[in-house]
Amino acid sequence: MTWAVFRRALVYVLLSIAAFVSVFPFFWMIIGATNTSADIIRGKTSIGGALLTNAATFFTQVDAPRIFFNSAFIAIVGTVLTLIISSLAGYGFEMFRSRFRERIFALLLLLLSIPFAAMMVPLFVMFSQAKLVNTYVAVIAPTVASIFIIFYFRQATKAFPRELRDAARIDGLSEWQIFLYVYLPVMRSTYAAATIIVFMANWNNYLWPLIVLQTADNKTITLILSALTSAYTPDYGMLLFGTVLATLPTLVIFFVLQRRFVEGMLGAVK
Amino acid sequence: MSSLKLSGVRKSYGAVEVIKGVDLDIESKEFVVFVGPSGCGKSTLLRMIAGLEEITAGELDIGGKRMNGVDPSKRGIAMVFQSYALYPHMTVRENMGFALRFAKVPKEQIERQVLEAARILALDPLLDRFPKELSGGQRQRVAIGRAIVRQPEVFLFDEPLSNLDAELRVHMRIEIARLHKELQATIIYVTHDQVEAMTLADKIVVLRDGVIEQVGKPLELYDNPANQFVAGFIGSPKMNFLPARIVQKDAGTAVIELVHHEGVRLSLPLAGGAVGDLVTLGIRPEHFGLPGEGAADMTLEVDVAEHLGSTSYVYARAAGEPIIIEREESRDQGDQERITVSVDPSRTYLFDQAGQRIR
Amino acid sequence: MAQARLERKEQINGWAFVAPALVLLGLFMIYPIVWSLWMSFQVGKGMNLSFGGFANIIRLTKDPVFLRALGNTFTFFIVQVPIMIVLALLFAVALNDATLRFRGLFRTAIFVPCVTSLIAYSTVFKSMFATDGIINQTLMALHLISGPISWFGDPFWAKVAIIIAITWRWTGYNMIFYLAALQNIDRSIYEAARIDGVPAWARFRYLTIPMLKPVILFTTVVSTIGTLQLFDEVYNFTAGTGGPSDSTVTLSLYIYNLTFKFMPSFGYSATVSWVIVLVVAVLSFLQFLVARDRRRA
């Protein structure tokens, strides 16, 4: 066997292990959702018959419609707002340069290194004083202007052909119209990639909603499941059922937007 | 310096055959140009010689040794790519010396060879610059320098001048020709530009659809194309092709008449063929004479006349077919007029309906 | 005249596009940061605050939990980030080969963990790493260990479990960045190196890595920031305790506890959060430094 063939085989083995390790927990989760808690703990890896029982337990313990609505509302509204505001800013920074704004941008990059922990207390106090604790606004508002997404859009805009804007200007479009009718359609894959990233971040957002959402019926599925997991003897079957439900939206969005996502990432890393 | 031999070389991608049986001999120190339209397989053939593509069938010998399946680095070749492929994070000096570091060559010798190559290519002042600080022509020279340093048996060039502007291309062409003389190297050069082929090559290989159409010295191909494709490919502007018919046939000669210009008859030496056969008459734009000079005259409607100063190109029409005439001293020829040219049979070519040359 | 007017329009538009984001950032980032800085000089419980000068900083040096949190956070960083970056690089290089089969499948599979909901993977990992869970069972079946590891009961193994979890989660993310960067590299560069006899390991070390330097730097800085702020995984895996016996407490968890669990010491927790800022700044700076130096060599 030549070295080249051996190396190629090694690559396949390595990647297969990586793929297996990556996917196994999902597989385990789905299997687990169909088994009883006792079976799961014993390490059963085959499909069981407890799916409906787990579902029943889950839906009695959790006000699913309400909770999922919370998560969905926060994630969807948050994602839409973030995309709008952050892409506008990224576009603005890249297309309309000025020395002063460059310095502001540099400052923003520095701010990226500020941990959320440094801001969560003042933010909480702010929202308490505004009597907005335990509301959707409180959860969504601080995440809308995302420096990371602004940076991402700025990078991606570097690849946007200036000629398109010049041609549109000659045709008499206003800057806002150019953004809407020329930029948006061209940058579809960037938006797709950003949607996945932002939606995921919002759906999975933990610390801030934990701080700000106080009553059970305002909490997100992430928080609720987390609380249930900390029970002394958790019902893993029910829990895994819940996690399957909780994972579905992000998985769906990912698979729908997947191809655009890779295009989008390729476009930004230049 | 080494010779090469290709015998029955074929290449397939799955069910699609792209190189369909190539036989070729390349002498040591010869400058051979592979030329042809896009998709003819010239780059593929070059990459097969380099070892970057597998040879599906047939044999490749370099310097007398069988090289099928041999690792590219062990074939005694060096390659210059169309995009130069310079290492962006290394200086010119490092770019050129990089490969030698792994050939267990002592550092002083690497330095010496790099400096020598830099001298040949006038890269001395640029040795500590990075590729992004260089112009296109300079990057090109670094790519060539990187190849020279390895002292290969054969140099391979893959469309090296395609990314340069017209003026630079002429300059670099001369540089490469000079290099060939100075290095006494065997060079295989791929291009789609027949001017580069004509000016640089000792031997031109014309390829189409994975098949060699003709091999020969540049002027041989110009004077004596083997088929209609080569006749049309070599020479700029393109040779004109006019349909004709044999109207009289004696042993050794034939009289042909242009289909769309009854009255234009030429007597040409021709061995085979019979009366009534359809043929194609080829005549280069520069081979039309003034009226009365040749055996027959043709009057044509002019579409456009381009005047470049010393020469003029007249784009005319003959019964709907486009004809290009190249002529000196035709400044007065205007658009939308008529022009009369003469045809000298000794400067024409005959092709059969399959495109093959008939004599 | 028209030129000046054109420039003014540029300026107005420039500000118009970035203004909404800047306003929000000012409100929800700048203001809290400034407030937090001011806060770090205050002492007292709850809302009884008074100026304490450097008292908080002094308290830091004597606080055993803080020091342990600092140590843990650092341990997570030092171990997890390099492993993840190296793995992501290897996977990306392996997947960059156009002749490899099932490329798309592998790539999607390795990336899928990043799309998981936090809760999903916490729950799954917790049950997989339970003392009688599947991980232990597999390890014992392979005879790699003789008895079950008490993953979340042992200070050392708890850290290991968390590191495994984070690496599982985020390797695919970094891999995609590297893949995208690799695909932007001119293929001829590698062909030229092959022809010139540069061996594969040297192509990786002297060509791939240096050409990927900007992306690698970006991902390490982002990963550094992420790991130093580690909260979600630790909180979920250890039910908020940072146990066992504070062996997995991170700085962020400590801040959370200081603010919301114990009798809130806003001032002190603000100080701790500024420690994170400082560490992140120093480490990021160091990473930039390392990246720059090697270029000259």
Tens digit of pLDDT for each residue in C150-172? Answer: 788 888 888 888 899 899 988 98
Which residues is B79 bridged to in the sheet? Answer: B156
Across the interface, do C195 and B74 touch by the CB < 8 Å criterion? no
Residue C51 lies in a domain: no
pLDDT at B275: 87
State the CATH architecture for B240-351: Beta Barrel (2.40)
Chain A interface, best mutation among C118, C212, C221, by max A CB count within 10 A: C118
C29 with C163, same domain: the answer is no
Average pLDDT over residues B268-292: 86
Domains in chain A, number: 1
Which residues is B9 bridged to in the sheet? Answer: B22
pTM of the full predicted structure?
A: 0.81
pLDDT at B1: 63
Q: Choose the weakest-confidence range: A4-18, A181-195, B121-135, C251-265.
A: C251-265
Tens digit of pLDDT for each residue in C211-237? Answer: 998 888 888 888 988 888 888 888 888
3-state secondary structure of B25: strand
Domain that holds residue A264: 3-268
What ipTM does this complex have? 0.82
Residue C44 lies in a domain: no
Q: Which residue has the higher pLDDT, C295 or B45?
A: B45
Q: Does B130 touch chain C (CB under 8 A)?
A: no
Please say whether the beta carbons of C237 and C161 come within 8 A.
yes
3-state secondary structure of B87: coil
C212 with C138, same domain: the answer is yes
One-letter amino acid identity for C115? V
pLDDT at C269: 80
Across the interface, do B81 and C194 touch by the CB < 8 Å criterion? no
Residue C63 lies in a domain: yes
Minimum-distance CB partner of C196 among B82, B86, B150 = B150
How far apart CA C181 and CA A128 sit, in angstroms, is 45
Residue C50 lies in a domain: no
C4 min Cα distance to partner chain A (Å) = 14
Domain that holds residue C202: 56-296
C254 with C111, same domain: the answer is yes
Render the burial of B113-145: b for 16+ CB within 10 Å, e for the rest: bbbebbebbebeebbeebbeebeebbbbbbbbb
C160 with C268, same domain: the answer is yes
Q: Does B86 touch chain C (CB under 8 A)?
A: yes
* Sign of the alpha-carbon torsion through A20, A23, A25, A29: negative
C125 with C195, same domain: the answer is yes
Work out the percent of chain B whose per-residue pLDDT is above 90: 46
C32 with C62, same domain: the answer is no
Fold of the CATH domain B4-233: Rossmann fold (3.40.50)
C172 with C103, same domain: the answer is yes
C102 min Cα distance to partner chain B (Å) = 18
Tens digit of pLDDT for each residue in C257-280? Answer: 887 777 777 788 888 888 888 888
Domains in chain C, number: 2
Average pLDDT over residues A235-260: 82
Across the interface, do C189 and B51 touch by the CB < 8 Å criterion? no
Average pLDDT over residues A103-126: 84
C133 with C162, same domain: the answer is yes
pLDDT at C123: 79
Please enumerate residues of C whose Cβ is less than 8 A from a Cβ of B. Answer: 186, 188-189, 191-199, 202, 206-207, 210-211, 213, 295
pLDDT at A42: 65
C33 with C179, same domain: the answer is no
pLDDT at B156: 95
Tens digit of pLDDT for each residue in C48-105? Answer: 677 777 777 888 888 888 888 888 888 999 999 999 999 999 999 888 887 888 888 8
**Which candidate, C68, C108, C107, C92, places its Cα nearest to that of C242?**
C68
Tell me the CATH number at A251.
Answer: 1.10.3720.10
Q: How confident is the model at residue A265 (pLDDT cuts 50, 70, 90)?
A: low
C83 with C18, same domain: the answer is no
Q: How much of chain A is helix, strand and coil, in % rounded to 5?
A: 80, 0, 20
All structural domains of chain B with their residue ranges: 4-233, 240-351
Q: How confident is the model at residue B32 (pLDDT cuts 50, 70, 90)?
A: very high
- Answer yes or no: is pLDDT of A1 > 60: no
C26 with C144, same domain: the answer is no
Contacts of C127 in chain A (CB under 8 A): 32, 40-41, 236, 239-240
**Which candidate, C233, C153, C261, C239, places its Cα nearest to that of A232?**
C239
Average pLDDT, chain A: 85
C33 with C130, same domain: the answer is no
